Structure 1
Amino acid sequence: MKAAILKSFGTPLAIETLPDPVLGTGEIIVDVVAAGVLPYAAEVFSGERQYLLTLPVAPGAGAIGRVRAVGPDATRLAVGDWVSCDPTVRSRDDALTPDITLQGLSARGEGGLRLQKHFHHGSYAEQMLVPTENVFPLGQIDARDAGRWCSLNPLLVPYGGLLAANFCAGETLLVSGATGNFGSAGVAVALAMGAGCVIAPGRNEKILADLARRFGSRVRTVKLSGDEKADTERMQQAAPGPIDCVLDLLPPSAGTQPVRAAAMTVREYGRVVLMGGVGMLGGDDLALPYPWIMRNNITIRGQWMYPPEANTRMIGLIRAGLIDLDQFEITEFPLDEANAAVAYAAANGGPFRRTVLRCN
């Protein structure tokens, strides 16, 4: 099979031929039709993000494709089915604290690296070997829309945070990082879940105006000033009432100040979910005040990715028309032009924009 191979950090992807994957029990082989290219893929491939990724590898996290072969323990999936491949691979020998690897992207610790040895290559290839439990049927779709369905991945990340927060219809959510790739998707997901209001802070006035245009009066934007106390007050004032939940999706390039300013807008008994990359590359600790957390009964939770069932639920939200994939602007490149796709994604990674590799 043809694949784009990362041989060493800081070098371009090489278009080469790899052996076809070999099917085993508990596994599915998928013909990759479309694979999303992350806006920060170039930072991963350069080594800047310091992700645990064993090289050489065909990178790429997640894919849309068609089932090529199923293992003997698959009872519902069939050859030819349109499916989404979830990159969040969990070990099967510890249900309580499974090791995790993001197939084709990164591992969590030594256990994740061991798991990565088997489920090694990602979606920048014509075929993928995927755990059976990571393959989710989409139903019938038009092959021309496969790239649009790659928008599942940026939607699933904030969805995982909202599920972790037990976010309920009618509540008010503040999305810290709302002008970014995952944050803007979080605004869309929260509204689809029935949010009464979403507070969207940021510094990019053009993107804030676009969010207001897209979603109407249920979204209230706030231009951040950089003054922590003033920003906290302005975000609280923008809400129609108490802020029930804060979801942080800021990237590693952000400092702790905007995270703290957003977190401290939450009401008494409120919830704060941390999903971003702040501090991953060093910097100050978040330093939320202990007395404020304790006396106000604040719940603070970290959440990495999302539970497996989020895939099925998100597909259901899309099929029900609660999330419109047509709002995403899709730019596609053939697999042979993988390096051009990575460069394009880095330069055009704004909200509701997706760069996609067409692999078959």
Structure 2
Amino acid sequence: MKAAILKSLSQPLAIAQMPSPEMGTGEVIVDVVAAPVLSYANEVFNGERRYSMELPIVPGCGAIGRVKASGPDATHLKEGDWVFCDPTVRSRDDALMPDITLQGWSARSEGGLRLQRYFHDGPFAQEMRVPTENAIRIGDVDPREAARWCALNVMLVPYGGLLAAALQAGETLLVSGATGNFGSACVAVALAMGVRCVVAPGRNEKALADLERRFGERVQTVRLTGNEEEDRVRMRQAAPCPIDCVIDLLPPSASTKVVRAAIMAVRPYGRVILMGGVGMLGGDGLDLPYPWIMRNDITIRGKWMYPPQAVTRMTGLIRSGLLDLDHFDVTTFALDDANEAVAHATANGGPFKMTVLQP
């Protein structure tokens, strides 16, 4: 089969032939139809993000495809089924504390690296091998729309945070990082889940105006000034009622002051979910006052990725018409043009924009 292979952090992806994956027990072989190219892929491939991966590797993170073959432990999957290839691979020998790797992308801990050595290659190829539980059925898909279904990859991350927050219909949510790729997707997902209002702070006035245009009065945007206390007051004032929940999706480059301004806008007894990248590349820690957390009974939770059932639930939101994939502007590339796709993703990241490889 043909694949795009990352052989070195100092070289472009190599387009080459390699053996097709062989299926083992508890595994599925998928014909890859569409694979998203994340906007920060170049930062992974050049080593700037310092992701843990062993080279050479077929990279990528998540895909839409069709089942080519499945093993005896698959009682529902059948050949030709459309599936989302969930990149979040969990070890099966400790239900309480599984090790995790993102197939084709990164690993956490030594246990995650051990997983990566086996479920090594990602979706920048014509075929890939995934654990049975990671090939999740999404129903029939028009092949012409397969690339658009890669939006699952973006929306599932904030959806995992919203599920962790036990977000309820009728609540008010503040999305810190709302003008980014994951943040804007979070706005769309939260509205589909029935929130009363989303408070969307940011500095990018064009992106804020776009959110207002897309979603109307249920989104209240706030232009950040950089003054922490002033911004916190303005975020609270923008909400029609006390803010029930804050989710942070800011990137590594963001200041902890911006994160803290948003977090401390939450109401007493409110919830905070941390999913962004602030501090991943060094810098200041997030300084939150102990008395404020304790006296206001604030729940703060970190969340990485999403639970397996999130894919099926999100598919339901899409199939019901509550979540519209047409929000996403999609540009596709052939596998031979993988390096051009990475460059395009870098230059064209941001809200509701996707770059997709179609092997």
**2:274 paired residue number:** 274
Q: Deviations over 1:147-194 (max 9, x none)?
A: 000000110000000000000000000000000000000000000000
Instruction: Determine if the alignment matches structure 1 residue 236 to structure 2 residue 209.
Output: no
Q: Deviations over 1:245-295 (max 9, x none)?
A: 000000011110110000000000000000000000000010011000000
Question: In the aligned structure 2, how far is the partner of 1:96 from the partner of 1:11?
Answer: 39
**1:66 paired residue number:** 66
**1:342 paired residue number:** 342
**2:9 paired residue number:** 9
Instruction: Determine if the alignment matches structure 1 residue 104 to structure 2 residue 101.
Output: no
Cα displacement (A) at 1:18: 1.3
Question: In the aligned structure 1, how far is the partner of 2:327 from the partner of 2:188?
Answer: 10
Instruction: Determine if the alignment matches structure 1 residue 356 to structure 2 residue 348.
Output: no
**2:171 paired residue number:** 171
Matched letter for residue 138 of structure 2: L
Aligned counterparts, 1:41-190, within 5 A: 41-190=41-190
Matched letter for residue 112 of structure 1: G
Q: Deviations over 1:121-157 (max 9, x none)?
A: 0000000000000111111111011100000011000
Matched letter for residue 309 of structure 1: Q
**2:200 paired residue number:** 200
Question: In the aligned structure 1, how far is the partner of 2:118 from the partner of 2:129?
Answer: 9
SS of alignment partner, residue 283 of structure 1 = coil
Question: In the aligned structure 1, how far is the partner of 2:315 from the partner of 2:9?
Answer: 34
SS of alignment partner, residue 306 of structure 1 = coil
Cα displacement (A) at 1:234: 0.3
SS of alignment partner, residue 57 of structure 1 = coil
Cα displacement (A) at 1:10: 2.6
- TM-score, length basis structure 1: 0.99
Question: In the aligned structure 2, how far is the partner of 1:11 from the partner of 1:274?
Answer: 34
Consecutive unaligned residues in structure 1, runs of 5 or more: none
**2:310 paired residue number:** 310
Cα displacement (A) at 1:91: 0.2
Matched letter for residue 261 of structure 2: A
Question: In the aligned structure 2, how far is the partner of 1:168 from the partner of 1:87?
Answer: 27
**1:289 paired residue number:** 289
Consecutive unaligned residues in structure 2, runs of 5 or more: none
**1:24 paired residue number:** 24
**2:35 paired residue number:** 35
- TM-score, length basis structure 2: 0.99
Cα displacement (A) at 1:67: 0.4
Question: In the aligned structure 1, how far is the partner of 2:169 from the partner of 2:213?
Answer: 22
Cα displacement (A) at 1:244: 0.2
SS of alignment partner, residue 93 of structure 1 = coil
SS of alignment partner, residue 231 of structure 2 = helix
Matched letter for residue 175 of structure 1: V
Question: In the aligned structure 2, how far is the partner of 1:241 from the partner of 1:326?
Answer: 30
SS of alignment partner, residue 149 of structure 1 = helix
SS of alignment partner, residue 243 of structure 1 = coil
RMSD: 0.5
Question: In the aligned structure 1, how far is the partner of 2:12 from the partner of 2:4?
Answer: 9
Cα displacement (A) at 1:350: 1.2
Give runs of ≥4 in structure 1 deviating > 6 Å.
none
